[in-house]
Chain A
């Protein structure tokens, strides 16, 4: 019995479904199910850091995540710019899984003056991890961390039923002439495809700042007296129709009670979450416009007489929610 996957999606012509034996087409469909496990790759993390143009402080970013239940390999792609004079950067990636565990440490990456480093690595994210912590250590060189993309990138299709609900196809029955086609094989196409689709959440909004010295905090704001001040605005493209997002935030206050961060769909719903030193989450129902766009505004409440710090605000979409 062999588990295999086409290297590219196996396009099945619509007319092939009607004029061939089911036992000839079904293995191809199930092969595509295996392909989905390897190549359904929506980004788990897509962040452009809100950061200083020349940072010498070894910035540290924390990003709430909802990884696959299958404990998948993910490819990380970092962009880091030297702000002038050249830099050597060491990138450390940790996951929070009941405690901080290092999953990757790079060698020192040399960046020529004003160049941008494009650094990739593939590592496993635990299914129970709730945050990533990324450190860009430059030993005093001034840098600008630019962006981070993290997407599923499994190396192989596993045997057995996965925690996500995915079941791989092997050619043990269908691969032999005149063997029966079971209803389970037909159902498996849908169940595994939907399992992969819903298991791999897609980041649809992100605002992430250094946890040491955030680029902007409430002391940079005008207003005051618990006013909400806008701190970010951008459009997401959500081609999947109306949906409920799960929004996560991590931030803190200098003292006293929590303050709030608010994520708004312009002319739509909003969600308020506490900045209290822990990761908080809430639901936000959004309705894309006719072209699939959702315009988000992010606001932070300025507490009176105290400072507030937003380190991360991210939203995830799970198709079907």
Chain B
């Protein structure tokens, strides 16, 4: 079994060598293991999920994400805005569609809104409008790759031994990032 890496790069020594200047190093399997481990870490560690800031209000926002190898599921962290103190109905849910999904209406990922009233954007709405209420949310953590009805869940991906680019749209947000939430347990099975 071989798992993807979960390495913390904050302790990376960018300059040291495995063997270096030792004239006659002793034969050691640890050298080979070190050589393989760093390559494995770089190849299988996830990429950063970029924090995108924008103004899409209730509209769809189209973009694409590079998923590193071995990813089985991903999610979105998003922010919604509403007028502070505003009364009104709960806003429309945030919907996420990705890749070849949905092949059926039920497969749209739908995250219920936690904001109500008029959509606004941050504080950039002039003195006539009050400041915005921000609500940071994340799409659901439930895994259900073939739902019978729209539901809040993780986005499935076909795990590969190379990165893949997935196009998606997300609605009713003013910012978001995509993040990896599931990776294959054993890369040797891919």
Residues of A within 8 A of B (CB): 7-9, 11-14, 17-18, 22, 25-26, 29, 32-33, 35-36, 39-43, 46-51, 53, 75, 77, 79, 81, 116, 118, 144, 146-147, 149, 151, 183, 186-187, 189-191, 193-194, 196-198, 202-207, 215-216, 220-223, 229-243, 292-296, 298, 313, 317, 319-320
Contact = CB atoms under 8 A, between A and B. Distances in A.
B35 A204 contact: no
Contacts of A221: 123-124, 126
Interface size class of B (residues with CB under 8 A): 35 or more
B122 A230 contact: yes
Contacts of B69: 8-9, 39
A189 B53 contact: no
B106 interface: no
Interface of B: 1-2, 6-12, 14, 16-20, 22, 25, 27, 29, 31-36, 38-56, 59-66, 68-69, 77-79, 121-127, 129, 131, 134, 136, 160-163, 165, 167, 169, 174-180, 187-188, 190
A9 B79 contact: no
Contacts of B48: 42, 202-204, 236-240, 317
A204 B177 CA distance: 9
Contacts of B20: 183, 187
Contact of A237 (B62, B124, B179): B179
Nearest to A118: B167
B54 A207 contact: yes
18 contacts: A29-B32, A39-B43, A50-B54, A77-B64, A189-B35, A190-B38, A202-B50, A204-B48, A229-B124, A231-B124, A233-B175, A237-B48, A239-B45, A239-B46, A296-B51, A319-B12, A320-B9, A320-B12
